[in-house]
Amino acid sequence: MKNYRILVQYDGTRYKGWQVQKQTDMTIQGKLQSVLEELAGHPVEVIGSGRTDAGVHAVGQVANFHMDGDFSNEEILEYLNHYLPMDIAVTKIDEVDERFHARYHALSKTYVYRIHTSSIPDVFQRKYMYTYTIPLDVKAMKNAAEHLSGTHDFAAFCGNKKMKKSTVRTIFSVSIEKRENEMFISYTGDGFLQNMVRIMTGTLIEVGNGTRTADSVTEILESKDRSKAGYTAPPEGLMLKQVDYAAVVSTK
């Protein structure tokens, strides 16, 4: 079987997340697999770089799959985009080394959380931002973000209470940028736990609105207690922007 790598973008509004679920067919992975299986004539597992939550968007999701058949990259790309729903698109495809794995080989991922800070709604972008109109202290948020950078046990920022695997992750950077009526919080790390970015965002917002101090982030990390961290920011403001890898050997 040939191994293909694809770059996927999607509007996550209608979907229950990336991962296939038995009780619904409204998942990104499920839609991709369904179309590919029709083309290939056999089951196809699509492996994503990570599992985005329900309602979360992506412009740079990376996935790979193994498939039989004498299809060109262009034929697969055209077939996918013809039969996928209008809110999912594959923007790039290449055939890669059979050992490439989209999740295990990812070196870093970058998520961006977008906040709309004006009391006037943005009608056309409302599905891709979180409207929050209480004034935020950007300087305090940046101070708090510094405590998140580095290698830590992020158990307090994990939405899965039954998590059995390691909750240690490395955050390479957290940047906060304010532009007129919008704020962008970018997170780059080696991996993220369930709801982790959204919980970090909720915590930073609470620092910004004065509910908690910037230094409290260190105490939250040390506690390893989810109840000590901030609320889980809603999914519509979050987007998977980019996934980075070491050089991947293409067979073409």
Q: Which residues are marked as active site?
A: 53
Cβ-contact 194, 158 below 8 angstroms: yes
Cα–Cα distance, 53 to 14 (Å, whole number) = 12
In the chain, the DSSP E strands lie at 2-10, 47-48, 57-67, 88-96, 106-116, 130-131, 150-153, 168-179, 182-189, 238-245
- Which residues partner with 96 through β-bridges? 3, 250
Torsion 96-100-106-112 (CA) sign: positive
Cα–Cα distance, 72 to 4 (Å, whole number) = 11
Cα–Cα distance, 99 to 239 (Å, whole number) = 28
Using CA atoms of 85, 91, 94, 98 in order, give the dihedral in degrees to the nearest 10.
-50
Where do we find the tokens 């109109």?
133
Q: Give the Å distances, CA to CA, from 133 to 112, 118, 144, 178, 183.
A: 19, 6, 20, 14, 11
**Phi and psi of 157, rounded to 5°?**
-110, 25
Neighbours of 162 (CB within 10 A): 5
Cα–Cα distance, 244 to 252 (Å, whole number) = 20
